[in-house]
Amino acid sequence: MRKRLFFIGLVVLALLLTPVMYITANSRESNLERSEKKSFGEDIKNLSAWVVYWDLNSDKEIKALDKRLKNISYFAANFDSNNKLAMPEDLTNYYNKTKNDKYNKYITIVNDKVKIDGSYSLKDTSLLKALLDTPDSRSSHIEGIINLAVKHGFDGIEIDYEQIKKDMGLWNNYISFINELYEKAQNRGLKVRVVLEPNTPFDKLTFTEGPTYVLMCYNLHGGFNEPGEKANAEFIENSIESMSKVPGKKEFAIATGGFNWAANGKTTSVTEAQAVSLLKQYKATAQRHKESQSLFFTYTDENNMKHEVWYGDKVTLDSWMKVITEKGYDVSIWRLGGNLF
């Protein structure tokens, strides 16, 4: 009799607990569904992003970001064989098509140079030395930049000069250039953004308040090392801390897409759309990396070559943006094009 009563009691208890367990499970499921259904960057306000001349199919992404998108940088103007600034024709056409859209428009200037034979010298520091070496050369360079921005009706100028590394003489000339550019741009009603690499020696440099300084928080992994995520929370936090002595307005940039590492040592960049296409083509299964929220998978191609792919989706990017916004900073996105958000 006691056993029977005990059994009945267990059944009753189970019946009482079942709705609670069902509600809890459904609640978790609902939270997951809500997370998946959220728009990319839904909780972010002042987003900045880059469009690039080799991939200008960005209209859907710009529309998805809607009013959250405050600034777009048009990437990029570079230099011809005579060290004169030039905008790629496709970028110029795209800018003319979008110049009346309601966001601030910056022209990005990079230290890439087109040689006489048509090949490129990328991130050319010898070019920078020629442009920034003296007050006169800096003044001439600044005049060329401002004339380009004014001619096309840009709202601002973005400087993205890279690979200076530990050349302190060049760094000092670069900072003088930025200060002089900012003053002259202000006089013409132009905003200024300055993009900086993670390896910038902030402890040895004195930046002055004025421009918006944008630090790249990506390429933790890439073609130079083993497969892995472009960024994670710890890397982003350390990047923010490294820039703590820089005064004024600061933003931090995250990167979309990822990389495909082949077993033969060749590494290629991939957009999110390209990564998803590879997933489908090779019937692979992506896993989510807990620390970085990045996705990764492996596959073997038609030549029996093994590949490992890491990339980000909207869940990845939202997690990185949260680290930045919780520190009180705005986010820049490198880059639009090939994203599925």
**pLDDT at residue 42 greater than cutoff 90:** no
Across 118-123, average pLDDT = 95
Q: Which residues have a Cβ under 8 Å from the Cβ of 219 and sit 6 or more positions away?
A: 198, 230, 255
Instruction: State phi, psi for 224 to the nearest 5 degrees.
Output: -95, -5
Query: What ranges do the domains of the chain cover?
Result: 43-256+313-334
User: What percentage of the chain carries pLDDT values higher than 90?
Assistant: 86
What pLDDT does residue 45 have?
A: 85
User: What percentage of the chain carries pLDDT values higher than 70?
Assistant: 89
**pLDDT at residue 321 greater than cutoff 90:** yes
**pLDDT at residue 39 greater than cutoff 90:** no
Q: Rounded to whole angstroms, how far apart are CA atoms 172 and 70?
A: 31
**pLDDT at residue 107 greater than cutoff 60:** yes
Q: Tell me the residue type at 210.
A: G
Confidence of residue 37 (pLDDT cuts 50, 70, 90): low
Across 221-230, average pLDDT = 97
pTM, two decimal places = 0.89
Confidence of residue 206 (pLDDT cuts 50, 70, 90): very high
User: SS3 letters for the chain?
Assistant: CHHHHHHHHHHHHHHHHHHHHHHHHHHHHHHHHHHHHCCCCCCCCCEEEEEECCECCCHHHHHHHHHHEEEEEEEEEEECCCCCEECCHHHHHHHHHHCCCCCEEEEEEEEEEECCCCCEECCCHHHHHHHHCCHHHHHHHHHHHHHHHHHHCCCEEEEECCCCCCCHHHHHHHHHHHHHHHHHHHHCCCEEEEEECCCCCHHHCCCCCCCEEEEECCCCCCCCCCCCCCCCHHHHHHHHHHCCCCCCCEEEEEECCEEEEECCCCEEEECHHHHHHHHHHCCCCCEECCCCCCEEEEEECCCCCEEEEEECCHHHHHHHHHHHHHCCCEEEEECCCCCCC
Across 5-34, average pLDDT = 43
pLDDT digits (tens, 9 = 90+) for 176-201: 999 999 999 999 999 999 999 999 99
Across 142-152, average pLDDT = 98
Fold of 43-256+313-334: TIM Barrel (3.20.20)
**What order of strands is seen across the sheet that includes strand 295-300?**
267-270, 258-262, 306-311, 295-300, 287-288
Average pLDDT value over all residues in the chain: 91
**pLDDT at residue 164 greater than cutoff 70:** yes
Dihedral sign for Cα 49, 250, 141, 120, please: negative
